[in-house]
A and B are shown apart, each in its own frame.
Chain A
Amino acid sequence: MEKAVINSIMPGVELIYVHTDKFKTGHLSVNLLLQLDKSSAAKNALIMHVLRRGCKRLPDLKSISDELDRLYGATIDPVVRTIGEIQCVGFSSNFADDRYLPGEESILEKVVSLTAELLLDPATRGGLLKADYVRSERDNLCDAIRSEMSDKRTYSFMRLKEIMFSGEAYGTDRNGSLKSAERIAQIALTKHYKAILATAPIKIFYCGGADLERITEAVLNAFSTLPRGEIDLSAGTEIRVECGEPRFVTETMDVTQGKLTMGFRLGEVMYSPDYASIAVFNAVFGGGVTSKLFMNVRERMSLCYYASSVTDRFKGVMFVISGVEFDKYETARDEILAQLRACAEGDISEGELSSAISSLVNSVRAMEDSVSSLDAYYLAHSIDGLTYSPSEYALLIGEITREDVVRVAKSVRLDCVYFLRGEEKEVAE
C-alpha cells in the first residue's frame, strides 16, 4: 500500500490521503480537533448529531435518507472519539467506488459535498440551530450515555476513569457527562458550534481509488465556505508520570459476576516514550492469547473468561479488565500484579516475547486492509506528527528486545483498583 500523503489545503485544514484500489468503497472522515473538557465535551458531541438532522438543501431526515439511498447506499455518520485528551468530532462517510456503479455514474463529489453541507450549512430557524432538533438529539445523547452505563464492564471502566482521573480531563467520557448533556440549550449550542467551526484544526482523511488531485479539488470545492478564524492549536494531552499510594474502591450493584478494573500510570518511560516498546510490553503482559494474563489468570488458574490489558500511549496509562467471582477478587488482583512484577524482573521467555511481537506485527500490518483502522491509525499518528505507515511501524515493533520491555514494565505504577460486586455478599474492605 502506498504511504499516506499529508497536505495542508486550507488554513488549519490538513488532508491525509491514502491511495488504494483494493477497497470497493471510498472512505472520508472530517474531524475537528478540540481539547477534551468536561464543560464542552457533551456540546461538541451533540453538535454533530444535530447537524446530521438537516442542512439547508436537505432539511430533514427523510430527504437525507432518500438522497443516501440514491447515492447507492452511501453512509454519512457522526463520529465522536477521543485520542488522549483530544476530542475529535465530525462526520465519517463511506460510498461505492465509481468502478462498481452501473453506467458512467460518479458519486464521490456528491458525497463529499453532502458531508460538507451537513457540517457547514445547517437547517436553522432565526439563525439558530433548530430547537426541535437540539431537543430531540439532546435526549438521544442522554440515552446514549445511559446506555453505555448499562453494560457493566463499560460502567466499571468509566467509574475507574472517573476516580483515577478526578482532576484530569481524561476522566471525561467522549460524550461528556449526563449532567452536562441534560443542560445544553439551543442558543449556547449555536454559539459554540460557530466558535469551534472557525477555530478548530481540521483533519480530513480519505482512503480509496480517487487520485489526489480529484479528492483535493472535491474537498476544496465542498469546503470553500468553511469559516476560518484564528486556529486554536493548543489542544493536547497532559501526562502525569507520578502517582501516590494506590487507591482501592469497591462498589455494589445487581451483578452476577464481579468486574475488576485496574488503572496504572506508565511512569517515567513517558519522558521519552518509545511507542513500539510500550506496545510490545502490553502484548507480553496482557494484550492477547499468549500474554501472561491470559496464560496465568485464565488458563492456569481458571479464574476468569477474560483478563486483558490495554495501554493508551497518548496519556501514558494502562488498564487491566477482568470478570471474576466475587470471592476471587483478591486472588485475581494479586495474580495480575504478580504477573506485572514478573515482567519487570525480566521473567519473560523467548517464546512469550516472540509470540507477542509476531501477533502485534500481524495486527499492525493488517490495519492496511481496513479503512476504519487506517483512519484511526493515521489520525492518531498525525496528531503526534508521525508519518510512518503501519508496515513501517511493524518493522519498528520487530526490533524490540526483552530489555525494552523490562524497562517499560519497571516504570509502570498501580494507581487505582475498582471492583464492582453483587449486593448480597457485601463485605467491608
Chain B
Amino acid sequence: MTCKEYPELGEKIYSEVLDNGLAVFVMPKQDYVKTFAAFATRYGGSDCRFKLGDEFVETPEGIAHFLEHKMFDMPDGSDAMTALSALGASPNAFTGPDSTCYIFSCTDNLEQSLRVLLSYVTTPYFTDASVAKEQGIIGQEIRMCEDSPSHVVYENLLKAMYAEHPVRISVPGTVESIAKITPQTLYDCHKVFYNPSNMVLAVAGRVDPEAVIAAAREVVTAEAGDVPVRDTGFSEGPFVSESKTVREMDVSIPNYMIGIKLDPDPAGGEALFRQNLLAELAMDYLAGPSSPLYIRLYEQGVINDSFGFGVEEEAGALFAYISAEGDNGGDVAAELVKEARALASTGGDAEYFDGLKKSAIGGTLRMLNSPESCCMLMVNGYFYGYEAMSELDVINSFAVSDVLGFLKENVIPEKMTVSVIEPVKKVNA
C-alpha cells in the first residue's frame, strides 16, 4: 500500500493494485460521519462492439446500462439493493458512456456493506424472467428520458457532433434495442468487462485504508483477466457532422446546447488531462461568469443565469459545451466565434487571467468537501490515467497565451454544433 500526501489540500490518498489487477484507492476523512464507496468498471454505453475471443461481436445498444440494473439480483433469490439497505447503507448505480459505477454511502457497518458491494458486482445471475421484468422498468426509464428536454438536447448534440464515434450511442438504448437482450448476452458482457483488471474500487470518508484493501483482497478472488479490446473500427474527423439540430417538444421555454468538438491528444493520460483543463480554463476565459462576453450578453438580456459551460471527456471523445435556455443558440454561437477571434488577436488580460486561476482554488476546495466527488475523482483519474489531485498545479502552469491559442484553434464554426429544443408550433383550429 502506498500513501501520497497533498499537504496544501489537506488530503492523503492510499492506494494499491492487487495481484489480480484490481486497483484500490482510499481517501480517509476521519472527521466525517459518512463513508462513500464506488466500485467501477471501464464499460459503458459506448462499448457495444468489442472483442470476444478472436472475433469482434456486436451487442445491443443499452446493454451496459441493462447489465447495471440486473447486477443487483443474487443467485439465492435475494437482492443486493435490499441487503445494503438493511445494513443502513444507501446504494445506487449509474452508467455513463465509458464506465459503470456501483456506489453506496453509509454511516455504519462499512466493512459489511463493502463486502456486499464487492460480492454482488462480481456475481452475475440472470434469468429469462428477470430480464423480461427489467425490460418493462427500463422501458419506462427510456420514456422518462424522452420527455426530458435536457436529456434530449444533450443526446442530439452528441449525434450531430459525431458521425461515427460510439459516444453518440444513447446510454440506456431504445425500447427496441433492449428487447434483443438475453441472459446469455449479459453473461458474455459481464465476463469480458467485469474482470478485476478492468475495475477500480474507491472509498472516501471515515474509513481505515487497511480494512478496505483487506476486504477487496478477500472478496474479489477472480483471477486477472485481459483488458478488453474495444471497437476501433470507426473514423471520426476533426469537424462536426452537422452544425445544427432542432427538435420540437412540448416545452414552455426553448433551450439549447452548443458543442465544440475537440481533437483529443492520442497520448491520453496526463496529456489528455492537461488538454481537458486547458479547455475548461479557456472556456472560462471566453464565456465564464466574469468574462466580458458573459457580462455583455447577460446585460443585453441575450442570456440569463441558466447559461453555463463545461468540458467532457467520454469514451475517448473530448468536447466543450455551452448549455442555456433561450431561442437564440445560433446567435450565441456566432458571438462565441467572434469573441474568440477578437481575443486571440490580443495579448490577453493578465489580471483577469490571474483572477480565474485564484477562483479555481475555491472550486477545488468545494469539490474536496464531498466524499462522492473525491471518489469519482479517484475513479476517473485511474481510468483515464492521470494524477487527479494535481489539477491546481496544472492550471497554474498555463499562460494566457495557451488559452488564446486554444480559442483560436477550436472556437470555429467547423467544430461547432448547436442543438436546440423548440416549443411545438401549435396549429390553431
Interface residues of A, Cβ cutoff 8 Å to B: 1, 20-25, 60-62, 65-66, 68-75, 94-97, 99-101, 136, 139-140, 143-144, 146-147, 149-153, 253-257, 259, 288-290, 298-299, 302-306, 323-325, 351, 354-355, 358-359, 361-363, 365-366, 368-371, 391
Partner of B86, one of A25, A153, A303, A358: A358
Residues of A within 8 A of B325 (CB): 143, 147
Most-contacted residue by chain A among B32, B140, B358, B360 (CB, 10 A): B140
Residues of A within 8 A of B363 (CB): 73
Q: A62-B292, A365-B33, A369-B34 are in contact. Are A302 and B137 (CB under 8 A)?
A: yes
Residues of B within 8 A of A139 (CB): 301, 304
Residue in chain B with minimal CB distance to A142: B253
Partner of B366, one of A22, A25, A144, A362: A25
Question: When each residue 388-400 of chain B gets 1 if its CB lies under 8 Å from chain A and 0 otherwise, what string results?
Answer: 0000000000000
Chain B: interface residue total (CB-CB under 8 A): 70
> How distant is the Cα of A259 from the Cα of B250 in the complex, in angstroms?
14
5 contacts between A and B (CB under 8 A): A22-B29, A22-B32, A65-B289, A257-B146, A325-B143
> How distant is the Cα of A324 from the Cα of B141 in the complex, in angstroms?
10
The 6 nearest A-B residue pairs measured at CB: A73-B362, A65-B290, A69-B355, A358-B88, A73-B359, A302-B136
Partner of A95, one of B108, B252, B352, B362: B362
Interface residue B299 (Cβ < 8 Å from any Cβ of A): yes
A73 touches B85 (CB 8 A): no
Interface residue B89 (Cβ < 8 Å from any Cβ of A): yes
Interface residue B128 (Cβ < 8 Å from any Cβ of A): no
| Interface stretch (choices B195-203, B368-376, B379-387) | B368-376
Question: When each residue 323-355 of chain B gets 1 if its CB lies under 8 Å from chain A and 0 otherwise, what string results?
Answer: 001100000000000000000000000001001
A325 touches B140 (CB 8 A): yes
Residues of B within 8 A of A365 (CB): 33-34, 107
B366 touches A136 (CB 8 A): no
- Extra A-B contacts (10), CB below 8 Å, given A25-B362, A359-B90, A366-B107: A25-B366, A69-B356, A73-B361, A139-B301, A144-B306, A147-B252, A290-B82, A290-B86, A304-B140, A369-B34
Residues of A within 8 A of B8 (CB): 100
Residues of A within 8 A of B141 (CB): 305
Residues of A within 8 A of B133 (CB): 299, 302
Q: A22-B32, A25-B365, A68-B290 are in contact. Are A140 and B147 (CB under 8 A)?
A: no
Question: When each residue 126-165 of chain B gets 1 if its CB lies under 8 Å from chain A and 0 otherwise, what string results?
Answer: 0000000110111011011011111000000000000000
Residues of B within 8 A of A96 (CB): 361-362, 365
B89 touches A362 (CB 8 A): yes
Shortest Cβ gap from A181 to chain B (Å) = 13
Most-contacted residue by chain B among A20, A351, A355 (CB, 10 A): A355
Interface residue B106 (Cβ < 8 Å from any Cβ of A): yes
> How distant is the Cα of A100 from the Cα of B143 in the complex, in angstroms?
46
B29 touches A73 (CB 8 A): no
> How distant is the Cα of A140 from the Cα of B325 in the complex, in angstroms?
10
Interface residues of B, Cβ cutoff 8 Å to A: 8-10, 29, 31-34, 81-82, 85-91, 105-108, 133-134, 136-138, 140-141, 143-144, 146-150, 205, 249-253, 255, 289-290, 292, 295, 298-299, 301, 304-306, 325-326, 352, 355-356, 358-363, 365-366, 368-371, 424
> How distant is the Cα of A151 from the Cα of B362 in the complex, in angstroms?
32
> How distant is the Cα of A427 from the Cα of B295 in the complex, in angstroms?
50
Residues of A within 8 A of B149 (CB): 150-151
A73 touches B249 (CB 8 A): no
> How distant is the Cα of A354 from the Cα of B362 in the complex, in angstroms?
41
Residues of A within 8 A of B91 (CB): 289
B88 touches A362 (CB 8 A): yes
Residue in chain A with minimal CB distance to B138: A305
Shortest Cβ gap from B318 to chain A (Å) = 24
Shortest Cβ gap from A161 to chain B (Å) = 17
> How distant is the Cα of A85 from the Cα of B325 in the complex, in angstroms?
29
Residues of A within 8 A of B358 (CB): 69-70, 72-73
A366 touches B34 (CB 8 A): yes
Residues of B within 8 A of A72 (CB): 358-359, 361-362
A61 touches B147 (CB 8 A): no
B33 touches A368 (CB 8 A): yes
> How distant is the Cα of A66 from the Cα of B6 in the complex, in angstroms?
29
> How distant is the Cα of A46 from the Cα of B91 in the complex, in angstroms?
39
Residue in chain B with minimal CB distance to A390: B33
A323 touches B140 (CB 8 A): yes
Residues of B within 8 A of A323 (CB): 140, 143-144, 147
Residue in chain B with minimal CB distance to A22: B31
Q: A96-B365, A305-B144 are in contact. Are A20 and B31 (CB under 8 A)?
A: yes
Residues of B within 8 A of A325 (CB): 140, 143
> How distant is the Cα of A143 from the Cα of B327 in the complex, in angstroms?
11
Residues of B within 8 A of A298 (CB): 137
B253 touches A305 (CB 8 A): no
Shortest Cβ gap from A363 to chain B (Å) = 6
Residues of A within 8 A of B368 (CB): 24
Residues of A within 8 A of B301 (CB): 136, 139
Most-contacted residue by chain A among B85, B150, B363 (CB, 10 A): B85
A324 touches B33 (CB 8 A): no
> How distant is the Cα of A288 from the Cα of B89 in the complex, in angstroms?
11
Residue in chain A with minimal CB distance to B79: A299
Partner of A306, one of B136, B144, B150: B144
Shortest Cβ gap from A64 to chain B (Å) = 9
B85 touches A290 (CB 8 A): yes
Q: A96-B365, A369-B33 are in contact. Are A362 and B136 (CB under 8 A)?
A: no
Residues of B within 8 A of A144 (CB): 304, 306
Residues of B within 8 A of A24 (CB): 9-10, 365-366, 368-369
Partner of B33, one of A1, A25, A306: A1
Most-contacted residue by chain B among A70, A147, A150, A151 (CB, 10 A): A150
Residue in chain B with minimal CB distance to A62: B295
Residues of B within 8 A of A60 (CB): 295, 299
Residues of B within 8 A of A359 (CB): 85, 88-90
Residues of B within 8 A of A21 (CB): 31
Q: A143-B306, A358-B87 are in contact. Are A69 and B359 (CB under 8 A)?
A: yes
Residues of B within 8 A of A361 (CB): 88, 107-108
Residues of A within 8 A of B361 (CB): 72-73, 96, 100-101
Partner of B306, one of A25, A147, A306, A366: A147
> How distant is the Cα of A355 from the Cα of B362 in the complex, in angstroms?
38
Residues of A within 8 A of B34 (CB): 362, 365-366, 369
Partner of B251, one of A71, A150, A369: A150
> How distant is the Cα of A147 from the Cα of B255 in the complex, in angstroms?
9
> How distant is the Cα of A143 from the Cα of B326 in the complex, in angstroms?
9
Residues of B within 8 A of A146 (CB): 252-253
Residue in chain A with minimal CB distance to B30: A22
Residues of B within 8 A of A351 (CB): 82, 86
Shortest Cβ gap from B308 to chain A (Å) = 13
A254 touches B250 (CB 8 A): yes
Residue in chain B with minimal CB distance to A254: B250
> How distant is the Cα of A288 from the Cα of B105 in the complex, in angstroms?
14
B252 touches A371 (CB 8 A): no
> How distant is the Cα of A150 from the Cα of B292 in the complex, in angstroms?
30
Residues of B within 8 A of A288 (CB): 85, 90
Partner of A143, one of B9, B253, B360: B253
Residue in chain A with minimal CB distance to B370: A370
Residues of B within 8 A of A254 (CB): 249-250, 424
